[in-house]
Amino acid sequence: MVSTLKDALVSEHRGQPWYIPVLLSLLMLSIPIMAGCPPAGRCLSCGSFDVVGRFADPDILECSGMAASRTYPGILWVHNDSGDRARVFAVTEQGILRGVYMLQGALAVDWEDIALAPCSAGSPSDCLYIGDIGDNANIRSMIRVYRIQEPTVPLEGPPVTEDIHTVEVFECRYPDSPHDAETLVVDPQTAIPYVITKEAAGYSTVYRFPQPLVASQPCTLETVARLTTVSYLTGGDVTPNGSRVLLRNKFSAFEFPRLSGQTFPEIFGNVPCTINLAPETQGEALALVPSGRDIYIYTASEGLGAPINRERCSLP
């Protein structure tokens, strides 16, 4: 649109007075402002990342998703990418293994993200939502989200291995065509999952599981938003009060602050703030931990013994 408008003005005023090029320059300078900016005074103020630990267990080879426990402060829930069994790991922020939990009856086609949120709207208990949503070839007719009650984590003694028998599965198809996706977030008020696609070309799309969420009943996802400023997303998380969503790609995080009066889906229509992330070989995981007026961002990469990075951010 910009080049077309500029060409039109040049054609219309070719050979006209000297001030026409000046007007064109001013027009070009004004375009970024017209395109929109992050909401003033609402962005997190973040420092640099510190390496707080490394995954000590050799079975954590390809950390693809991460969520932070609220019941067990300092515990991070992680899982591997495709090729592993249907299991999640509980580790400390230093990367020390505290438990391995096997989801009985679940499939691990291509697990890509994990979220921690209430088990249902208004529930005092937290659940883990695991997104079996990866689809590099764009051929899967259905994707799945598994939900389990957050397991008990021993904070002392040897790590545990436990079978989880109560596993809910929510299976859905896209309303248009198959997509690859690596990002799962859950609205903390409604406990409804959102899947955000990873597009190699073009921008990501936000899809929502329909309400009410019914286990073992195939459904069709609902299109919520098209993210016209970010793409190639590999993970994300939501603050427990739903006030901001952070999405990431390999290099940066994109913070979507929730404006006054907005519903959760309307967050994705806002212009995001950009946060630089720690350099990572294959960065896909991101988790948020609020603490007073601070928010800690944890990130991790795939790879054996990969570092766990943490950044302290202050609320505006």
CB neighbours of residue 200 within 10 Å? 8
pLDDT at 229: 87
pLDDT tens-digit map of 281-310 = 999 999 999 999 999 999 999 999 999 999
CB neighbours of residue 165 within 10 Å? 10
Q: Residue 204: is its pLDDT beyond 70?
A: yes
Structure tokens at 144: 């799945």
| C-alpha to C-alpha distance for 143 and 175, rounded to whole angstroms | 12
pLDDT at 202: 81
Sign of CA dihedral 235, 135, 75, 148: positive
| C-alpha to C-alpha distance for 313 and 253, rounded to whole angstroms | 12
Q: Do 29 and 50 reside in the same domain of the chain?
A: no
Q: Do 102 and 175 reside in the same domain of the chain?
A: yes
Structure tokens at 32: 């970024």
pLDDT at 92: 98
41: pLDDT confidence band, cut at 50, 70 and 90? low
Q: Do 115 and 141 reside in the same domain of the chain?
A: yes
pTM (predicted TM-score): 0.88
The amino acid present at 309, given as its one-letter code, is N
Helices (H), the chain: 2-12, 19-35
The structural domain count of the chain equals 2
Q: Do 15 and 108 reside in the same domain of the chain?
A: no
Q: Residue 257: is its pLDDT beyond 70?
A: yes
Q: Do 217 and 128 reside in the same domain of the chain?
A: yes
Q: Do 101 and 147 reside in the same domain of the chain?
A: yes
The answer to whether the beta carbons of residues 296 and 62 sit under 8 Å apart is no
By mean pLDDT, which of 35-39, 62-66, 240-244 is the weakest? 35-39
How many whole angstroms from its chain centre is CA 219? 22
Instruction: Look up the domain containing 9 and give its range.
Output: 1-35
Q: Do 147 and 278 reside in the same domain of the chain?
A: yes
Sheet holding 111-118, edge to edge: 111-118, 126-132, 143-149, 168-173, 219-220
Q: Do 30 and 69 reside in the same domain of the chain?
A: no
Closest CA to 187 of 254, 260, 236, 259: 236
Helix (H, G, I), strand (E, B) or coil at 32: helix
231: pLDDT confidence band, cut at 50, 70 and 90? confident
| C-alpha to C-alpha distance for 178 and 186, rounded to whole angstroms | 21
36: pLDDT confidence band, cut at 50, 70 and 90? low
Q: Do 208 and 192 reside in the same domain of the chain?
A: yes
What CATH number does the domain containing 181 carry?
2.115.10
Residue with tokens 């950390």: 63
pLDDT at 35: 38
Q: Do 58 and 181 reside in the same domain of the chain?
A: yes
Q: Average per-residue pLDDT in the chain?
A: 89
pLDDT tens-digit map of 277-289 = 999 999 999 999 9
DSSP line for 18-38: THHHHHHHHHHHHHHHHH--P
Q: Do 176 and 229 reside in the same domain of the chain?
A: yes
Sign of CA dihedral 208, 284, 121, 162: positive
pLDDT tens-digit map of 97-119 = 999 999 999 999 999 999 999 99
Structure tokens at 170: 């929510």
CB neighbours of residue 46 within 10 Å? 19
Q: How far is CA 59 from CA 52, 87, 302, in A?
A: 20, 11, 12
Q: Do 112 and 236 reside in the same domain of the chain?
A: yes
